[in-house]
Amino acid sequence: MSLATKHALPTSLQANPLLGSWIQFGENNTLRVMSGKVEIGQGIQASLKKIATLQLGLDPGQLDFIAGDTQICPDEWYTAGSQSIEVGGHSLAFACQHFRHFFETAAAQALSCKVSDLVLAGGSFSFHDKSISYFDLEKSVDYKQFKLDEAWTGDSFSLKGETASVEGFAREDLQEKIGGTGFIQDLVLPNMLHARILRGPHAHAITDDWQLEKLKALSGVEQVFVSGQFVALLGVNESAIVNAYEKAQTWITWRIKNPLPPEQEIENLLLSLPAVTSEPIIEGAAKEGSISHKARYSRPYIAHASISPSCALAMPTDDQSITVWSHTQGPHKLRDQLALALKMSSENIRVIHVSGPGCYGHNGADDVAFDAAFLAHQLRRPVRVQWMRSDEMAAGPVGAASLVELDASLDDSGAIVRWDASVWSHTHIARPGWGQGINLLGAWSTAQPVPQPEPVDMFLPAGGGLRNIKPYYDLPSLHVKHHFISQSPVRVSALRSLGAYANTFAIESFMDELAQLSGQDPIEFRLKHQNDQRAREVIEKAAKMANWNTYRQELAAAQDGRGLGIGFGRYKNKSAYCAVVIEVEVAEAVRVNKVWMAVDAGEIVHFDALLNQVEGGIIQALSWSLKEAVHWNESGSTSVSWDDYPILNFDEIPAVEIELIDRPGEPGLGSGELAAGPIGAALANAVTHALQIRPRHLPFTSDRLSKMIMDAD
């Protein structure tokens, strides 16, 4: 087990080494704990608050938690990549431990006892009948300049502290949001103008046909702001501005400067676009066995499709400064990008994070923040910009399509002796602050436009398009080729799990194909190549939950369109383990009857928060895999509303059984993205079990399956 292994200094502590950047004294006998990991609908604050409260020995009411305010909080990069517990939580816990250590040392001195004699509860250190609190000691302890990076030993520690059994820590934000308010959409600034930006069906749609006089004459429009192709309608009455926006869209004819590649099967599309092939990754020595097999798999472009399009507010605070309210994943990165785009100093921009609709990656949140900041800066007036549904769907980024080719060979014993993988895909990350240039939509279209930066993908080990391309199995050889495609028909960036969705879907589908070709049970075949005990345990647990052997045979014998399939993955090959068995029933469409999932995300910090993330990950990945694909034509995206981008509905939700394996003392691992790839694969494997037809191209719509059945006949 990894208890003895050393862990690298978390990036958050590298960037914010001083203890005073994480904890300070707040008002009214509270400790103010500061984080750069923000609430994006995943409920992270409950877990971070639990960590801080327990590590510091406070009552929950003594904690003043604040996240994502660039003027106050540490810069923790983005709230992304399932890093909020792994990096954010561990950094915060480490800071809290040192803070506590400073004060317990001072308390022991004050109470004339040993540190080990002290009992800490409710922020107060007691020895027999004497006690002294953090707040009593505030002036006598000098902790702020303590360097956490130098104190890091790399040893594992519990995230929960000594009072780990404490229950509770329900999400405080939900008390406000359920039945109430609390979203960025609900903020109102004094003397604020509502704005809508006129945009077409593509991030690069332009027009020569604004008819500005007509725009100005629209009812409720107090101002038409024009800077190049950036045109905004503004007024105090939001409803009137929305009407004006809808009317204007009826006469504007949009076009795209560079023609888009026509929509076609993802495999054909990606193979037809120019690609740069990088030096292959070669590990071990390949052999040729008695059975060889090759197959191609693909995923389409997938929309974030949050329930609300993005929103932001901005306000000039003096001649030189502005404050921006945003549901961005990276407040500090956004601040620095806004400074570049607006030619201001970062010090003169404050970004304050406020909850928005569910965020699953780089959506329009940063773009709309630019829109609001640019308008507020130019007009010297508070502005609220709410994107319309079509803006988010057509001009916001979507997750990139991928094509994955796998080619392997098995020896006579049915063991894998060669494994080759090739991936054709775009960048899976184009966040503002990633790479060079300015990644903010509006900044590409003003009168002094900046170019859209050249796409640069994330390299392994984390990987973008290559994330999880190395199978998490014991293989004697591996060969990976990456064909990087810059040009995409729609704008692409980070979506939950990046390339791991396609790669894990492909690998785990292919494992089933290899098992079938060599006459082995899919689970036995996986275990045969698996020496990581924790991986074996989730696979065995999921199999047991589903009563795999017996139930699979029963379903096969029944021949009634039902099937059972498995999928496994370890996210990024270094994070949480997940194994899932899915039962499908295929008639006109694929219906998922039941999902059994076993998850090992290390030490469980907050049971319900983890469960919530896993449940949501399952349902969203089922939705992607069964239904979702962004479509386009020569003018841009044609997936601009819920009518043309359906997602899973309430009557399509399966029964779900989840087992969370707790590993006290092991590092807590992120859970937001673990389900995506295994779900896609288990679904494909279950469909194959039901129909004896192998779907290799996502999503598994009834049209696609019907065509496969007809072609097979």
Partner 1 sequence: MSEIISFELNGVSQNQNLDPNAKLLYTIRNECDSKEVRFGCGAGNCGACTVLIDGLPEQSCTVPNWSVANKKVTTAAGLKEDAIGKVVLQAFMQEQAAQCGYCINGILMSVTALLKTHPKPSQDQINNSLNRHLCRCGTHLRIIRAINHAIQTLSKS
Chain-centre distance of CA 586, in angstroms?
31
Q: In this structure, which amino acid lies at residue 27?
A: E
Interacting stretch for partner 1, rule CB under 8 A, among 205-213, 227-235, 608-616, 686-694?
608-616
Residue number, 14 or 243, with CB nearest to partner 1: 243
Q: Is 179 in the site for partner 1 (CB under 8 A)?
A: yes
Closer residue to partner 1, CB minimum distance, 344 or 653: 653
Give the contact letters, 188-217, x = binds to partner 1 (CB under 8 A), - = no.
x-----------------------------
| Nearer to partner 1 (CB atom), residue 115 or residue 655 | 655
* Residue in 180, 280, 284, 665 binding partner 1, rule: CB under 8 A: 180
Q: In this structure, are residues 37 and 84 in contact, taking their beta carbons and an 8 Å threshold?
A: yes
Of the two residues 409 and 620, which places its CB atom closer to partner 1 in the complex?
Answer: 620
Does residue 615 belong to the site contacting partner 1 (CB under 8 A)? yes
Give the shortest CB-546-to-partner 1 separation in angstroms: 18
CB contact at 8 A, 624 and 699: yes
Pick the piece of the chain touching partner 1 (CB under 8 A) from 146-154, 210-218, 279-287, 616-624. 616-624
Are the C-beta atoms of 469 and 573 separated by less than 8 Å?
no
For position 616 contacting partner 1 by CB under 8 A, the verdict is yes
Q: Is 242 in the site for partner 1 (CB under 8 A)?
A: yes
2 near partner 1, rule: CB under 8 A: no
Q: Interface with partner 1 includes 638 (CB under 8 A)?
A: no
Tell me if 358 contacts partner 1 by CB under 8 A: yes
Closest CA to 210 of 223, 219, 221, 199: 199
Q: How far apart are CA 558 and CA 695, in angstroms?
A: 21
3-state secondary structure 627-687: HCCCCEECCEECCCCCCCCCCCCHHHCCEEEEEEECCCCCCCCCCCCCCHHHHHHHHHHHH
Q: Is 413 in the site for partner 1 (CB under 8 A)?
A: no
Q: Which stretch in 131-139, 260-268, 479-487, 637-645 sits in contact with partner 1 by CB under 8 A?
A: 637-645
Q: Which is nearer to partner 1, 563 or 654 (CB)?
A: 654
Amino acid letter, residue 374? F
Binding residue for partner 1 (CB under 8 A) from 121, 170, 217, 693?
170
Q: Is 641 in the site for partner 1 (CB under 8 A)?
A: yes
Rounded Cα–Cα distance for residues 299 and 386 (Å): 30
Q: Alpha carbon of 469 to those of 186, 404, 528: distances in Å?
A: 42, 9, 20
Q: In which residue are the tokens 């027999």 written? A: 128
Nearer to partner 1 by Cβ, of 242 and 271: the residue is 242
Residue 97: count other Cβ atoms within 10 Å of its Cβ: 16
Q: What share of the chain is helix, strand, coil (3-state, %, to 5)?
A: 35, 20, 45
Please give the backbone phi and psi of residue 581, each rounded to the nearest 5 degrees, phi first.
-115, 135
Which of the stretches 82-90, 141-149, 350-358, 436-444 binds partner 1 when contact is defined by CB under 8 A?
Answer: 350-358
- Alpha-carbon distance 594 to 577, whole Å? 20
Which stretch in 66-74, 184-192, 576-584, 687-695 sits in contact with partner 1 by CB under 8 A? 184-192
- Residue-wise DSSP of 400-435: PPEEEEEEEEE-TTS-EEEEEEEEEE--S---TTSS
Residue 653 near partner 1 by CB under 8 A: yes
Per CB under 8 A, 617 contacts partner 1: yes
One of 156, 402, 620, 685 touching partner 1 (CB under 8 A): 620
Q: Sheet harboring 577-586: ordered strands across?
A: 562-570, 577-586, 590-600, 655-661
Residue 356 sits in the site that holds partner 1 (CB under 8 A)? yes
Under the criterion CB under 8 A, does residue 305 sit at the interface with partner 1?
yes
Is position 181 an interface residue for partner 1 (rule: CB under 8 A)? yes
Instruction: Read off the amino acid at residue 322.
Output: I
The structure tokens 């001649």 sit at: 319
* Residues contacting 479, CB < 8 A, separation 6+: 280, 281, 282, 283, 286, 418, 419, 420, 421
Q: Which is nearer to partner 1, 303 or 423 (CB)?
A: 303
Tell me whether residue 352 or residue 438 sits nearer to partner 1 (CB atom): 352
Q: How many CB atoms lie within 10 A of CB 593?
A: 13
Q: Which of residues 680-709 bind partner 1 (CB under 8 A)?
A: none
Residue from 386, 509, 637, 688 in contact with partner 1 (CB under 8 A): 386
> Binding of partner 1 at residue 168 (CB under 8 A)?
no
3-state secondary structure of 277: strand
Q: For the chain, give the number of residues.
A: 713
CB of 612 to partner 1, least distance (A): 6
In angstroms, the CA 616 to CA 623 distance is 11
Name the one range near partner 1 by CB under 8 A: 131-139, 411-419, 433-441, 646-654. 646-654
Least distance from partner 1 to the Cβ atom of residue 78, Å: 17
Least Å distance between CB 332 and partner 1? 22
Distance between CA atoms of residues 425 and 465, nearest Å:
6
Out of 97, 378, 612, 701, which residue is the one contacting partner 1 (CB under 8 A)?
612
DSSP string for 536-557:
HHHHHHHHHHTTHHHHHHHHHH
Pick from 642, 662, 664, 693: which binds partner 1 (CB under 8 A)? 642
Beta strand pairing call for 398-399 and 492-493: parallel
List the one residue out of 547, 524, 546, 548 whose CA is nearest residue 536.
Answer: 524
Q: How far is the CB of 84 from partner 1 (least distance, A)?
A: 14
Residue 597 interacting with partner 1 (CB under 8 A): no
In this complex, which beta carbon is closest to partner 1, that of residue 40 or of residue 469? 40
The residue from 20, 26, 41, 435 that contacts partner 1 (CB under 8 A) is 41
- 43 near partner 1 (CB under 8 A): yes
Q: What is the contact surface with partner 1 in residues (CB under 8 A)?
A: 40-43, 170-171, 173-175, 177-183, 185-186, 188, 219, 237-240, 242-243, 305-308, 355-360, 386, 388-389, 608, 612-613, 615-620, 623, 641-643, 647-651, 653, 656
